[in-house]
Amino acid sequence: MGVELTYRDAVAKAIVDEMNRDDSVYIMGEDIGRYQGTFRVTQGMFDDYGPKRVIDTPITEAGFTGIAIGSAMSGLRPIVEMMTMSFSILALDQILNHAAKVHYMTGGQASVPMVIRGPGGAAKQLSAQHSHSLEGWFAHCPGLKVVAPSTPECAYGLFKTSVRDDNPVIFTENPGLYTVKGELPDDDDFTVPIGKARIAREGTDMSLVCYSRMVHVCLEAAERLAEQGISAEVVDVRSLLPLDMETISASVAKTNRAVVVYEDWKFGGFGGEIASRIGEECFDDLDAPVLRVGGLNVPTPYSRVLELECIPSADSVLAAVERLS
């Protein structure tokens, strides 16, 4: 039997395991050391590893991301924590123009093995500047890998794989998942491959394709649909780039209907890419149009009541399914 951990503790365990396994792994970011992290993912690490491997940085995302890229090119494996992934906007030049392109522009002579991680998406009243879901922005850029796990087990296994990968990996953790509990395998070397989706719930009538916290929203919707006699399959994408279309296509071929659910703004969000690929590659299997359920196209409000109205819920998923019935 494995141990039950929260999502937050699963990420922390993966960081510690990889730092113990490989001396070239270190972590840097704002308030991750003495303060022990805004979301407490790095709690206790400063005392255990010291200031050379758990590095508190100034509030300068572009600066410390650039330092991490240089150290990765020199043989280290940095983990960069963004206090919130919304702040990664300040480091977009370093991430998109350097981390993602160095391997290509040096003809494969240099690699950038690093992980950029942190909370992405709405939490509870963090307002418009701290609630972005940016995973689709990063998935648009060749040279990066982008993952968005939904469970403690997936977070643990995918993080270990991400640290060991020789490419820069964007690892987004929805803050609404940090307290979710789950059982980890009794195997300290357990990993989950990047680029492989999973079936979170088997079904025959409808495919709900989703990732990150929306997996739990879709599982709730699937339970309520079952009460109506509708069998919904929940596909947990997990990895946005590379995207596992084989698993998604196989699900759609079985159910003949698809709803793509994502927390990002609906307009231009990554769910549109998934829906388009389903339309292109699974056209003959579809008995109805592919629908999307995404966040409202507004800045995330501070008001909790309004915030909840902007984020997809089980009710909004059910409303979309009714349109296909």
| Structure confidence at residue 213 (pLDDT) | 97
Do 169 and 233 fall into the same domain? no
Q: Is residue 263 part of a domain?
A: yes
Same domain, 161 and 253: no
pLDDT digits (tens, 9 = 90+) for 139-151: 999 999 999 999 9
Q: Are 190 and 18 in contact (CB under 8 A)?
A: no
pLDDT at 110: 97
- Domain C-terminal end among 183, 217, 251: 183
Q: Which strands sit side by side in the sheet containing 258-265, from one edge to the other?
A: 198-201, 232-236, 206-210, 258-265, 291-295
CATH of the domain at 307: 3.40.50.920
Verify that 60 and 98 share a domain, yes or no: yes
- Same domain membership, residue 314 and residue 221: yes
- What pLDDT, on a 0 to 100 scale, did the predictor assign at position 26? 98
Q: Looking at residue 324, what is its pLDDT?
A: 86
pLDDT at 123: 85
Rounded distance, CA 177 to CA 190, Å? 21
pLDDT of residue 125: 84
On whether both 207 and 118 belong to a single domain, the answer is: no
Q: 292 near 321, Cβ under 8 Å?
A: no
The parts of the chain modelled with pLDDT lower than 50 are none
Q: Specify whether 29 is located in the same domain as 157.
A: yes
Nearest to 324 by CA among 203, 228, 205: 205
Looking at the structure of the chain, the number of domains it has is 2
Dump pLDDT digits (tens) for 20-60: 999 999 999 999 999 988 889 999 999 999 999 999 999 99
- Please indicate, yes or no, whether the overall pTM of this predicted structure exceeds 0.85: yes
Q: Six-digit token pair at 141?
A: 């850029």
pLDDT of residue 64: 98
Q: Rounded to an integer, what distance in angstroms lies between the CA atom of residue 47 and that of residue 73?
A: 27
Residues 177 and 50 in one domain: yes
**Which pLDDT value is given to residue 112?**
98
174 and 205 housed in the same domain: no
Same domain, 50 and 8: yes
199: region left, alpha or beta (phi > 0 left; psi from -120 to 50 alpha): beta
| pLDDT for the residue 1 | 63
Q: Would residue 61 show up in a list of annotated catalytic residues for this protein?
A: yes
22 and 110 belong to one structural domain: yes
Q: Please pick, among 18, 30, 61, 263, the residue that the annotation labels catalytic.
A: 61
Give the whole-angstrom CA distance, residue 8 versus residue 2: 16
- Cα separation values, 113 from 7, 56, 87, 154, 246, Å: 24, 20, 21, 20, 27
How far, in Å, are 144, 171, 279 from residue 73 at the CA level? 15, 19, 40
Q: Which domain holds residue 87?
A: 4-183
Q: Are residue 99 and residue 224 in the same domain, yes or no?
A: no
Indicate whether 287 belongs to any domain: yes
CA–CA gap between residue 281 and residue 279 (Å, rounded): 6
Q: What is the pLDDT of residue 232?
A: 98
* Choice among 130, 140, 183, 220 that is catalytic: 130
